[in-house]
Amino acid sequence: MRVSIFTKDSSTHDATSLLKTLAINLGFDLAGIAPASKADGFQHLTSWLENGFQGQMDYISKRAPAYQHPESLLPNVRSILMVGYNYNHQLHADSGTVKGKVAKYAHGKDYHEVLWEKLGLLLQEFQKHFPDCKGRGVVDTAPLLERDFARRAGLGWIGKNTMLINKKAGSFMVLGALLLDMELTPDKPFEFDHCGTCTACLRACPTEAFIGPKVLDATKCISYLTIEVKTEIPHELRGKMQDWIFGCDICQDVCPWNKKATPANDWNSWRNPDLELLDLVKLLEMDNASFRAKFKETPLWRRKRKGILRNACIALGNIGNQEHLDALKKAHLEDEPLIKEAAAWAITNIHKRLGISPNPEEC
Catalytic machinery residues: 140
Helices (H), the chain: 12-25, 42-50, 58-62, 111-129, 146-152, 200-204, 222-223, 235-238, 250-253, 256-259, 280-284, 288-295, 304-319, 325-331, 337-354
The alpha carbon of 312 is separated from its chain's Cα centroid by a whole number of angstroms, namely 19
Specify the amino acid at residue 187.
Answer: D
Cβ count near 52 (within 10 Å): 11
Helices (H), 26-145: 42-50, 58-62, 111-129
Q: Kindly tell me the burial class for residue 322, based on how many C-beta atoms sit within 10 Å of its own C-beta (0-12, 13-18, 19 or more).
A: exposed
β-bridge pairing 244-246 and 99-102: parallel
The alpha carbon of 325 is separated from its chain's Cα centroid by a whole number of angstroms, namely 32
β-bridge pairing 30-35 and 135-138: unpaired
